[in-house]
Amino acid sequence: MRLARLSPHDLSDMSDFPLDFTRAYGAPLAEADFRREPEDFVVDEKLAAPLNGEGEHVCVHVRKAGQNTQWLAKQLASFCGVKNRDVGYCGLKDRHALTTQWFSICLPKEAPSDWQVFEKQFPQNCVKVLQHIRHNKKLRPGDHQYNEFIIRVYPNSRDLDNFEKRFNTIKNCGVPNYFGEQRFGIEGGNLIEADELFSSWAPQKRKKMPSIIISAARSYLFNLVLSHRVKHGDWQEVVEGEVVSAGVQSPSGPLWGRGRNLAQMPLLQRETEILDRFNSWREALEHCGLSQERRDLSLLPDNMYYKRDEGLVEFGFRLPPGSYATSVLREFFVLKNSSGARSENSGQRGELNA
């Protein structure tokens, strides 16, 4: 059975899987064109630790435009004569953007000496190897310290009332730490597929589900909890039952998996009620090899600034791994993606992490 089981309130705005999660600071200031050109969305990945210069992995620092991270990883594997699993990276970066990121390739012996040969496989200026260095470990998701963004948007109104006030509020107080809409695929396609899989899934079948579908479902449940907290005004407050992590109690929401929800009463009851209609999802996620985790409800951009010019606003900020620039921008504008695709990667499934 599809999610007709959701209440009319849950379904009031869209389809079975509404994606207009509650905004923290009221209605958007205006609509704005987004991603007219790859250069409008610039992402620079910064590693958490320096590469050590020796080891069986060759790490390449790549600048790419209009290219999918996973696809490019496969091209690197083919060029170097290794298996796809021998190529690692810290996170998926946006396709319709100008991005720099690191890839690691397991090459214990010889490595390519001329990376220009690799670059020539692509249209001019689409892929550029900026540097390469050996390292003793494969790069894995989350190994970077942060992503640095420079993003231009084009508002459809020149009169942006309260822009300065909202900017300062967000700079100082942060935004809800939503998973971005691209996580869920074009028109929420990943969630539709998840519901179809989970509705017919049973533990005894042991059917392996695509990781990106698992991730989308897990993220959606988190966003529903966060949206509820934002609506009730306590998404930045420590309420009774919050989880203590590393001796610190802070607002967080569930990333579903095996084991009990880590929250305590009465927050536990509240989250259970919010997700009550997703029992089949939660049951399936408990058998997907993931454990119960928590994710911060609040996201505070670092080094945030803006510049306003005739017809555009440029934002700059840094975000930690796993967070989304669109979750910051949506508190200012309704974003109209001019790239021609809702998903940040080729195909309909979207991205796994940032």
Q: Tens of pLDDT along 194-205?
A: 999 888 776 656
Domain contains 333: no
Q: How far is CA 136 from the centre of its chain?
A: 27
pLDDT of residue 272: 96
Is there a single domain that holds both residue 82 and residue 190? no
Is there a single domain that holds both residue 134 and residue 181? no
CATH of the domain at 21: 3.30.2340.10
Is there a single domain that holds both residue 110 and residue 192? no
pLDDT of residue 186: 85
Task: Read off the pLDDT band of 2 (50, 70, 90).
Answer: very low
Is there a single domain that holds both residue 60 and residue 14? no
Domain count, the chain: 2
Domain contains 295: yes
Which residues, in sequence order, are bridge partners of residue 103?
60, 89
What stretch of H or E contains 46?
A: strand 41-47
- Chosen domain end from 141, 173, 198: 141
What stretch of H or E contains 65?
A: strand 57-65
pLDDT of residue 111: 87
Domain contains 159: no
Domain contains 129: yes
- Chosen domain end from 141, 173, 195: 141
Is there a single domain that holds both residue 288 and residue 194? yes
Dihedral sign computed on CA atoms, order 161, 167, 168, 169? positive
Q: Name the percent of the chain lying above pLDDT 90.
A: 74
Instruction: Name the token pair of 7.
Output: 């209440």
Domain contains 349: no
Task: Give CA angle at 222 (196, 46), nearest 5°.
Answer: 110
pLDDT of residue 203: 62
3-state secondary structure of 226: helix
Q: How far is CA 130 from the centre of its chain?
A: 25
- Chosen domain end from 299, 317, 346: 299
Is there a single domain that holds both residue 53 and residue 195? no
Instruction: Give Cα separations from 3 to 7, 157, 195, 286 (angstroms).
Output: 9, 38, 8, 19
pLDDT of residue 208: 74
113-167 pLDDT, tens digit each: 899 999 999 998 899 999 999 999 999 998 999 999 999 999 998 888 899 999 9
Distance of alpha carbon 17 from alpha carbon 321, whole angstroms: 25
Q: Which of 33, 40, 94, 195 is catalytic?
A: 94
Q: For residue 203, what are the domain limits?
A: 3-34+164-299
- Catalytic site includes residue 143: no
Mean pLDDT of the chain: 89
pTM to 2 decimal places: 0.88
3-state secondary structure of 127: strand
Contact 191, 217 (CB under 8 A): yes
Is there a single domain that holds both residue 175 and residue 227? yes
Domain contains 158: no
Is there a single domain that holds both residue 69 and residue 103? yes
Is there a single domain that holds both residue 137 and residue 264? no
CATH of the domain at 91: 3.30.2350.20
Q: Which of 203-212, 230-239, 335-344 has the highest mean pLDDT?
A: 230-239
Q: Provide Rg for the chain, Cα atoms.
A: 21
Dihedral sign computed on CA atoms, order 157, 163, 166, 169? positive
Is there a single domain that holds both residue 23 and residue 168? yes
